[in-house]
Amino acid sequence: MTKEPLSLVAIVTRRIIFYAALAMLGQLVAVVVQTWSDDLQLGHMAIEHESFALAQGLTGEAGGVSYNLPRQLRGRYAQGRRDYFARIRSRSGVVLFSNCDRECADRFLPLNIDPPNFWVRQLAPGKPLNVAGGLLVDRGVEPILVEVAILGDKDQVLHAVFAHEIRDHMAAPMSLLLLVVLLAAVFSIRRALKPVAHAAAQIPNINPLKKETRLATDGLPLEVARLTSAVNKACDRVGELMGAQKDFTSAISHEVRTPLAIAHLELEKIADPRARKVESDLETLNQLVEQLTTLARLEGADCIPTQKIDLSHMAEEVVSAMAPLVYASGKTIELVDHGSTAFQGYPSLIESALRNLVDNAIRHTSPQAHIRVEVGPGPVFRVCDDGVRAVASQTKSAVPSPRRIGLGLRIVGRIAEIHGGHLAINKPSGGGMVAEVFFPA
């Protein structure tokens, strides 16, 4: 089964997402490399990150500010740890929380100093991170200074810093940008493709033989207009070829059939039974010419627009047209209508298929055979006969019978194929033949 092709919108969306992801990855790598190489910047970010996290424990009350170490930080800033220190104090120097001993207090600003809004100090260069700093946060009555010292960063605070950086400063703004770009792209594509959809809807109505059925190029984007013009040129070319083929088959028919007509009329004047034999051969030859020209016409026949097919009406016309020939050959014919449903197709081809099957039944059955043409139920017709068929060795024709080379049935099969249907041949045990042509509903 052929995979359904993707729509242009789906292709463009996928590509935009892919390239946006690629750009984000590139930017991420660049930011990480740049930040990683700048220890002071890293320290700055780490102090800021931890200060904000610690400030979550501040609560403003009527009597002043109190502090409770946030649950997730209790392990990191536990009393007695020697690598992560925190001190929360008011601007005036009242300490609300501290896991810091006298030695570590030296790393922070003295309590009697009015602190700046933010400060950071590198305690040792390079990695792992050794840094101390503080951030003044405004909480109600007076600003509170949150001070942090990180010595070695065993808890990988830097990972959390990077994750926060990526989430807040890259993913969120770029996702918003991506969404806007995607919506704009989908909208633009749909708008640009509207005339293309209109042109595509016109395609089934193109008849290569009729210039007036070409696609309109007005109002189309340049690239699409070029494609449409190319399609129109291709249709012109197909039309020329179809026209040439039509002329060719017509000329062949004329060149062969006129001498055949002469021979027929000449032979009628000869009473000898051998003349009847030659007449029969000429008829077979004529049938061969007919079928070859029909076969030639079939190629490209599906380039013209389809029409609504009423099988019941068509079968009535074909049976009416062929009945005189059927009865003249000593056979009988009837039409049984089981109720067909209308479908889209090529009337001349379907009529040709039905004629071919009836013709086949007339030519290849024993005298007194009965031919039954059935239509429906649904988009199907069948031609049944109860005749005994002549085997090839019994016919001594000078011209190979078209039946022997299977041309008639090949034509019918091809016509069914052109419509997306199929031909089925059954030979019931009681004799005769049933040829069924199914069309898609």
**In the complex, which residues of this chain contact other proteins (CB under 8 A)?**
250, 253-254, 256-258, 260-266, 268, 282, 286, 290, 293-294, 297, 316, 319-321, 323-324, 327-328, 332-337, 347-348, 351-352, 373
The CA angle 107-136-125, to the nearest 5 degrees, is 35
**Nearer Cβ to other proteins (39/351):** 351
In order of 38, 130, 300, 349, 427, the CA distances from 153 in angstroms are 16, 7, 78, 85, 90
Min separation Cβ 250 and other proteins, Å: 6
Strand bridging mode 370-375 / 332-337: parallel
Q: Which residue's entry shows tokens 């049933």?
A: 434
Helix (H) or strand (E) holding 281: helix 273-298
Q: Which residue, among 256, 255, 263, 259, has the nearest Cα to 280 in the 3D structure?
A: 263
Closest distance between other proteins and the C-beta of residue 440, in Å? Answer: 22
CB of 406 to other proteins, least distance (A): 20
CA distance 42 to 158: 8
- Give me the least distance between CB of 335 and other proteins, in Å please: 3
Q: Which is nearer to other proteins, 217 or 348 (CB)?
A: 348
Q: Residue written as tokens 């089981």?
A: 338
* Residue 70 exposure: Cα atoms within 13 Å on the Cβ side: 12
CA 118 to chain centroid, in Å, comes to 58
* Closest distance to other proteins from the beta carbon of 372 (Å): 9
Q: 89 or 355, CB closer to other proteins?
A: 355
What's the min distance (Å) between Cβ of 203 and other proteins?
22
Q: How far apart are the first and last CA of the chain?
A: 21
Nearer residue to other proteins within complex by CB, 48 or 302:
302
Nearest CA among 292, 431, 282 for reference residue 356: 292
Is residue 329 helix, strand or coil? coil
Q: What is the DSSP letter of 404?
A: T
Comparison of 20 and 260: residue with beta carbon closer to other proteins: 260
CB of 311 to other proteins, least distance (A): 13
Task: Compute the least distance from the CB of residue 238 to other proteins, in Å.
Answer: 17
Distance in angstroms (rounded) separating the CA atoms of residues 20 and 272? 91
Amino acid at 111: L
Q: Considering beta carbons, is residue 181 or 260 the nearer one to other proteins?
A: 260
Q: Which is nearer to other proteins, 13 or 286 (CB)?
A: 286
168: DSSP letter = I
Question: Which C-beta is closer to other proteins: that of 18 or that of 327?
Answer: 327
